Amino acid sequence: MSARFVAASESELRPVSPLRLALARFVANRTALASAGVILAFLLLALAAPWVAPHDPAEADLFRRLQPPVWSAGGEWAFALGCDGLGRDILSRLIWGARISLFIALMVIGLAAVIGTLSGLAAGYFRGWVDTLVSRLVDTLLGFPYLVFAIGLMAMMGPGLHNIVLALVYKEWVFTCRVARGETLAAREQDYVEAARALGCGPGHIMLREILPNVLSPVLVVATFRMAYVIILEASLSFLGLGVQPPTPSWGAMVADGRDFLVDAWWVSTIPGLAILALVLAINLASQGLRDAFDPRLHPS
């Protein structure tokens, strides 16, 4: 038996989980892969902010007030993306701001996904009054415009990092809940759920061990997709001054800081705006790639 034959049969025998198949499809999608690369770059920047940022993000130097970026006249490499109205280094603030934006987005999505998935599972599996309770709550929350809802909550709770996360989670879980509930409704009618019941499994076991693995991929897709919205919302709140308080850098607040100088010093608002655009676009494209990778209807085997 030749070595090649052995190799082929070995790879055939290796277990292939649905998740691994989806991952392989995701990696084969170049746009999605590039977007994932952009997200990863932002993440690394955010994590490494203390070592990567050239300056202290809060350090103001009025002599450098509105100093243009390096490619314009008067710019210099030490402050590559120029300085804002207080003479703070925009690049450093951008890097530290990524930390805030991504931290908030990940926290909100993480909490919302856990709450949404569990409540959706319970609503879809138990039906009856549990479903009525959860679904009516979801409908009620969906009735509020998201931003207005978040502004109201922030006004009540006051600004601050934790409060932003809370204000956004209050409504954000609704989106994962709806998906998880729908998927659970479909999954609970499957034979394998009936088989698990026939084997004497309780509701907790069936929900978490039988149904959850099957609803996880659509929940994952929605969660990544929603992350882009959360980043925009956080930026909007910070733009309105309801978010993270100065001098902590946040992209939304940076855009707001530059409003007064939009004609003379366009870079102060535009550069953080472009960062938001790049990250949100990358997340959207990556989540689309995820959806394509998970949706078997688009990939007949």
Residues that bind another protein (CB under 8 A): 13, 15-18, 190-192, 194-202, 205, 209-210, 213-214, 216
The torsion angles phi and psi of 83, rounded to 5 degrees, stand at: -130, 160
Q: CA angle, 218 as apex, 281 and 36 as ends, to 5°?
A: 30
Task: Give the residue with the Cβ less far from another protein, 136 or 209.
Answer: 209
CB of 24 to another protein, least distance (A): 15
Task: Give the residue with the Cβ less far from another protein, 76 or 194.
Answer: 194
CB of 193 to another protein, least distance (A): 8
Tokens representing residue 253 in the block: 């607040």
Contact between 262 and 283 under an 8 Å Cβ cutoff? The reply is no
CA 133 vs. chain centroid, Å, equals 27
Task: Give the residue with the Cβ less far from another protein, 69 or 218.
Answer: 218
Please give the Cα distance from 12 to 9 (Å, whole number): 5
CB of 60 to another protein, least distance (A): 54
Query: Which residue bears the tokens 């308080």?
Result: 245
Tokens representing residue 107 in the block: 């926290």
- Mapped onto helix, strand or coil, the DSSP state of residue 83 is strand
CB of 203 to another protein, least distance (A): 9
Task: Give the residue with the Cβ less far from another protein, 191 or 264.
Answer: 191
Please give the Cα distance from 98 to 43 (Å, whole number): 8
Please give the Cα distance from 283 to 22 (Å, whole number): 18
Task: Give the residue with the Cβ less far from another protein, 131 or 172.
Answer: 131
Task: Give the residue with the Cβ less far from another protein, 111 or 216.
Answer: 216
CB of 217 to another protein, least distance (A): 9
CB of 234 to another protein, least distance (A): 33
Q: Closest by alpha carbon to 210, among 190, 193, 194, 185? A: 193
CB of 204 to another protein, least distance (A): 11
Task: Give the residue with the Cβ less far from another protein, 9 or 140.
Answer: 9
Task: Give the residue with the Cβ less far from another protein, 145 or 213.
Answer: 213
Looking from the CA of 270 toward its CB, the CA atoms found within 13 Å total 11
- Mapped onto helix, strand or coil, the DSSP state of residue 244 is coil
CB of 214 to another protein, least distance (A): 5
Please give the Cα distance from 168 to 242 (Å, whole number): 12
The torsion angles phi and psi of 239, rounded to 5 degrees, stand at: -60, -40
Break the chain down into helix, strand, coil percent, rounded to 5: 75, 0, 25
Please give the Cα distance from 167 to 161 (Å, whole number): 10
